[in-house]
Structure 1
Amino acid sequence: MNNNILLESGTGEVELLEFVVNENHYVINVIKVKEVLNIDNITKLPQTHPAVAGLILFREEILTLIDLKYVLDNEKQDLKKHPKTIICEFNKIKVAFNIDDIVGVHRIKWTEIMKPDEISANSLVIGNIFLNNQILLLLDFEKIVTDISPNTGISEDKLIQVDFKDRSNINILLADDSALIRKLLKDTLTAAGFTNLTIVDDGKQAFDYLKNLEDKKGSNFTEDIQMLITDIEMPQMDGHTLTRKIKEDPILRKLPVIIFSSLITNNLRHKGEAVGADAQLSKPEVGNLVNLIDKFADSLNK
């Protein structure tokens, strides 16, 4: 899979791979996809989660294969009839997902991805896209994996193990579209002693909030917000675009921006660097996030 299709960072666009499971159409960010292949050999595992179809060998690596049909519709997939598999990498792990078929790749704007409304919101769907007279569902693959194996992603156990001290002098703006991540980060940062947290669920809300502060206070906006922590994948405005817009603003550019995302890998770190991020962490590195905030806070106070 060519992960260099979208070469620039912060363009406000995303490449999405459309695929089918049980006649429904879904999408995944191309940046997470390493390869698409047909599997021909699966090793079954005893006493494992029912969504785990088994183990496969991929380029001398042993990967867990997840049955997306079971995850989405609670039905077991016939792997002999549907051998097509997406190999993905995020949260510093590689994992395989079995699907029915691949449709193609689409380049769209993040503003074209709509948030699920309160009625239709599904914990595994983080965005809806209307394309070619069809609704495509953007899935939360990190949550799928974490639900199956909590140790591989962000879990409450990882988030609460932080040292408390008075950090009430640091006001943080946090942008993440996942309700689970927002809650767990809020709980963690509160447990660490941060009491002034402003939390939004997409990059546009974060940027509008900062521009409003800038309009009211000018360069003194840092009296209200001293740091931004942002995800990358978010409807309306992604974290790379948000970071670029902040760093291109003559006043807002002094705000430290930490990108905290499952997409931070050695191969993709350059994208955050290109838009001027001050630091980047993968989402499992929760303890390091608090340490990094402290480091920036100390430099701000000098």
Structure 2
Amino acid sequence: METNKGILLESGTNELEIVEFGIGKNKFGINVIKVKEIINPVPIIQIPHAHRNVEGIIELRGEVLPVVNVATALGFPPSEHPEQDKFIVAEFNKQKIVFHVHTVTQIHRISWDQIEKPSEMYQGVDSQIIGVIKLHGEMILLLDFEKIVVEINPDSGINVQQVKKLGKRERSNKRLVVAEDSPLLRKLLHDTLSEAGFQYLEFFENGRDALNYLESLAASGKVIENEVQLVITDIEMPQMDGHHLTKRIKDHTGLSKLPVIIFSSLITDDLRHKGQMVGANAQVSKPEIAELVLLIDEHIL
């Protein structure tokens, strides 16, 4: 079945829709806007010496796509009823990937503030969980699909070497605010932006915390342009997403002049208009860190 793109939400509402799917008895979710379609399994061609989480490749309407076994990636046992399994065809980070899951049930419309950040007690540094949704007496775990893909292909992640090729730049007096929920990506962004010459970096785990910080600066009577020169935000974050954060900044009289760059795996030709609608100054697809640095330079000169 194809997902109904007509149900996608307006930008900046802080809402999202997730496709609920099952692995064993556990329920998981993936953002609808990452999903191209959901199909029944088709024959898979195995690839010699492939990563253990990659089952092989399939051909879908002329495209050759890798198939990732989500159960294997999560350390779960195989499907008890493989004849009922489903393939989720997804697109993000400028690539298409097929995720092999056990069941696909329904689509839920929720608010980002319904998604709780995983506790460090059970999350751990290697966890693929980016959020917990309590819905109708059950829990749905929101998966970090980008992390699953980077574990398979590290070259698909942020690469500091891209920044080193840009050469030296003097940006040590510029202050940036970064909203990014992934601990791994926060560290990578810190390292790469530091390599690019930015020393004053304020990181926040979600859009709400970043907005509270910016609003507190504006309320203090300080000239915001002297305190922060630019905001970088992801889109998918618990509590408040990047589109809603951008809209709130651009609607705030004391913050509206701040340049905002959206840096997300969800920047595609089909979805770019969402960032434009909320007033983003620029949008960059992960993991194009060199392009991000060049755009930062352009907007804070």
Give the TM-score of the pair, scaled to structure 1. Answer: 0.94
Q: How many residues align?
A: 297
Say whether residues 1:264 and 2:267 are aligned partners: yes
The SS at the match of 2:232 is strand
Question: Which stretch has the larger CA shift, 64-73 or 148-157?
Answer: 148-157
Query: Is the 1:16–1:106 contact (alpha carbons within 8 Å) kept by the matching residues of 2?
Result: yes
- Tell me which of 181, 184, 192 is aligned to 2:188: 184
Q: Which amino acid aligns with 1:124?
A: Q
Q: For each residue in 1:268-292, what CA deviation from the matched residue of structure 2 results, as whole angstroms up to 9, or x when unmatched?
A: 0000000000000001211011111
Query: Is the 2:9–2:15 contact (alpha carbons within 8 Å) kept by the matching residues of 1?
Result: no
Map 1:187-226 to 2 at 5 A. 187-218=191-222, 220-226=223-229
Query: Is the 2:177–2:203 contact (alpha carbons within 8 Å) kept by the matching residues of 1?
Result: yes
Aligned partners of 2:5 and 2:150: how far apart in 1? 24
Q: Percent identity?
A: 46
| CA displacement at 1:57 relative to structure 2 | 1.3
Give the match for residue 138 of structure 2: 134
Give the match for residue 234 of structure 1: 237
The SS at the match of 1:119 is helix
Give the match for residue 112 of structure 1: 114
Give the TM-score of the pair, scaled to structure 2. Answer: 0.95
Query: Is the 2:130–2:142 contact (alpha carbons within 8 Å) kept by the matching residues of 1?
Result: yes
Map 1:1-302 to 2 at 5 A. 1-76=3-78, 80-122=82-124, 123-155=127-159, 157-158=161-162, 161-218=165-222, 220-298=223-301
Aligned partners of 1:63 and 1:280: how far apart in 2? 26
Q: What 5-or-longer segments of structure 1 have no aligned partner?
A: none
Q: What 5-or-longer segments of structure 2 have no aligned partner?
A: none
| CA displacement at 1:121 relative to structure 2 | 1.2
Change (3 A) 1:76 1:121: same
| CA displacement at 1:78 relative to structure 2 | 7.3
Change (3 A) 1:232 1:161: same
| CA displacement at 1:162 relative to structure 2 | 4.4
Query: Is the 1:243–1:257 contact (alpha carbons within 8 Å) kept by the matching residues of 2?
Result: yes
Q: Which amino acid aligns with 1:129?
A: I
Aligned partners of 1:245 and 1:166: how far apart in 2? 30
Q: For each residue in 1:243-295, what CA deviation from the matched residue of structure 2 results, as whole angstroms up to 9, or x when unmatched?
A: 00111111211000000000000000000000000000001211011111111
| CA displacement at 1:160 relative to structure 2 | 5.4
Q: Which amino acid aligns with 2:32?
A: V
Aligned partners of 1:114 and 1:80: how far apart in 2? 32
Change (3 A) 1:96 1:160: farther
Q: For each residue in 1:130-180, what CA deviation from the matched residue of structure 2 results, as whole angstroms up to 9, or x when unmatched?
A: 001111100000010010111223345556554232211211000000111
Change (3 A) 1:159 1:181: farther
Q: Which amino acid aligns with 2:138?
A: Q
Change (3 A) 1:20 1:230: same
Q: For each residue in 1:101-154, what CA deviation from the matched residue of structure 2 results, as whole angstroms up to 9, or x when unmatched?
A: 111000011000000111011420000000011111000000100101112233
Question: Which stretch has the larger CA shift, 267-276 or 77-86?
Answer: 77-86
Aligned partners of 1:4 and 1:138: how far apart in 2? 22
Aligned partners of 1:5 and 1:234: how far apart in 2? 20
The SS at the match of 1:294 is helix
